[in-house]
Amino acid sequence: MEYDVVIVGAGPAGLSAAIRLKQMAADEDKDIEVCVLEKGSEVGAHILSGAVVDPRAMDELLPDWRDMEGHPFTVPVVEDQHLILSKSGHSAFPHVLLPPFMDNDGCYTVSLGNVCRWLASQAEGMGVEIFPGFAAAEVLFDEKGAVRGVATGATGIAKDGEKKPSYEAGMELHAKYTLFAEGVRGHLTKELKPIFDLERDCQPQVYGLGIKELWDVDPEKHVEGRVLHTQGWPLEDANGGGFIYHQADGQVALGFVVWLGYKNPHISPFQEMQKWKTHPMIAELLKGGKRVSYGARAINDGGYQSVPKLAFPGGALVGCAAGFLNVPRIKGTHTAMKSGMMAAEAVFAAVQAGRAQDELTAYQEAYDHSWVKAELKKVRNTVPLVKKFGDTAGTGLAGITMWLEHLKLSMPFTLGHKPDHEGLGRKEHFNKPVYPKPDGVLTFDRLSSVFLSNTNHEEDQPPHLVLKDPDVPIEHNLPLYDEPAQRYCPAGVYEVVGEEEGDPKFVINAQNCVHCKTCDIKDPLQNINWVVPEGGGGPNYPNM
């Protein structure tokens, strides 16, 4: 199938790019064929975020969105708090100490999945072809080495590689330009980076794991538009924090982020989140409520210094595939959307000039002069300072640098990052955290949580969690780190069985995978490679 532009991923960046392309074509009375592939069963099925969204990019993309039917931005932020937790209490961090760009004034708390569903409806109304349930499994190259499109994965292949009666071959989608909007740690993006040496002049990307639950709470405790962020307890050997967003329809989105550079191999981000909910303030909010959804996803924490080269022959990276999250603001939707728009503008100009499969230098130039880069630059030292000096001193130093940047007294340095997988220490050097036993009311186990994510994979298919060396988990990771995949995975995919009998085996329950990508990031020898399963497999988030 031939298109002018193929976009991999129907998230905020990919859909914004598609809409912008069609807008420019309409403005100039031209035609441009745009296709969006989405590996989820529907648009929004794999989208998970807090989310508090800055509408800056939406205002640029669809200036009249407030008057448009069905838009999901119905809950403006009305209250903004930052709390520092101890085991049994909390103190409010004075908002006046934060630079003005940290305000949530004018922002909205919303389901990002519903934002994407609404953007998809706008894109389809403009003539964009969107194919949910089709996973881009392979990058296609022309004879000169430029990207010429992607191929979707075949379906109906058994674990042993044999074709089942339901077999259907994948499709090749050829394009003049291909935009990769796969999100964090996209498997094709990971392939493209070394091929085109995209990370030659940047720091390694680093990540956090965000774990989220959606609760129906007692209406008397719900304050629509209230936004709370927490730091401190229960984390001891890791950095991160929590969020509590009072959203529409009496629901509260709450989640916990653990930065994946932690050293203690006994840490379980999932159990840290469950422990966080036992804090008296949070437990009181949830008392009498009901958990209705669960999910997890890695997020980019590298920021300004970890953004790779964006364009290469035949394609470009947009959105979280490149990593535009503003970590202190905990916002990346507006920057992702803007990146998609900038890429679209470069693509449209190139197509109208009769070009194809060359490098979109105009996109890189647009980013270099954009508010996206300027916004990320202001906060570039926040994550490294917190990691180096800890929550208290690091946060204070980060606040000082952000204020100075806001006052245009730019720091003469940019701190670097260390890859997350290099951070683990030996198991005997760290204490095991004490986690609460799941009670099924406030705290839960991973399997019952995965059930709420509506995750489903065809079991008889080739594995999408591939071990480069099957001996590493038991022969290397188990004696050194007590095989940390058992704990860092928020979905119970990995377990070691038979250890008490003296015959340990590493088991992969791939059907539980919620596509968070943590294993691909945190495995100490980078032995786990996440590739796409059959299209449509994975979580089916209804309102996340």
pLDDT 10s digits, 318-351: 999 999 999 999 999 999 999 999 999 999 999 9
**Angstrom distance (rounded) from CA 36 to CA 181:** 10
Question: Of residues 16, 41, 49, 109, which has the active-site annotation?
Answer: 49
Active site residue 414: no
Helix (H, G, I), strand (E, B) or coil at 382: helix
Q: Which of 333, 335, 339, 395 is catalytic?
A: 333
Spell out the long-range contacts of 427-433 with Cβ–Cβ below 8 A and sequence spacing 24 or more: 427/265, 427/266, 427/480, 427/481, 427/482, 430/237, 430/263, 430/264, 430/265, 430/266, 431/264, 431/266, 432/266, 433/234, 433/236, 433/237, 433/264, 433/266, 433/267, 433/268, 433/271, 433/272, 433/275
Active site residue 116: no
Give the span between the Cα atoms of 473 and 459, in whole angstroms. Answer: 22
Q: What is each CA distance from 265 to 72, 253, 298, 382, in whole angstroms?
A: 40, 28, 18, 24
Whole-Å CA distances, 118 to 33, 255, 341? 21, 24, 17
- Exactly one of 291, 297, 380, 446 is catalytic; which is it? 297
333 is catalytic: yes
pLDDT in tens, 152-180: 998 899 998 899 998 999 999 999 999 99
pTM of the model: 0.97
The yes-or-no answer on residue 519 being catalytic is yes
Strands (E), 345-493: 465-467
Tokens of 231: 């730091």
Judged by phi (left if over 0) then psi (alpha if -120 to 50, else beta), residue 264 lies in: beta
Q: Are 79 and 223 in contact (CB under 8 A)?
A: yes
Q: What is the pLDDT of residue 96?
A: 79
Residue 423 has a pLDDT of: 87
The answer to whether residue 518 is catalytic is: no
Cis peptide preceding 393, ω within 30 of 0 = no
Whether 49 is a known active-site residue: answer yes
Give start and end residues of each alpha helix (H) in 196-291: 269-276, 280-286
pLDDT (0 to 100) of residue 95:
79
How far apart CA 493 and CA 511 sit, in angstroms, is 8
Q: Which amino acid is at 474?
A: I
Active-site position among 107, 117, 513, 518? 513
Q: Which of 152, 446, 489, 518 is catalytic?
A: 489
Contact present, 5 and 32 (Cβ < 8 Å) = yes
Reading the block at residue 515, the tokens are 């596509």
Residue 362 confidence (pLDDT):
98
Which residues of the chain are under the pLDDT cut of 70? none
Q: How many residues does the chain have?
A: 544
Residue 176 phi/psi, 5-degree rounding, is -70, -35
Task: Report CA-CA distances (Å) from 219 to 245, 285, 293.
Answer: 14, 10, 18
**One of 185, 401, 516, 518 is an active-site residue; which one?**
516
* Phi, psi at 94, each rounded to 5°: -60, 120
Q: Is 256 helix (H, G, I), strand (E, B) or coil?
A: strand
The confidence score (pLDDT) of residue 160 equals 87
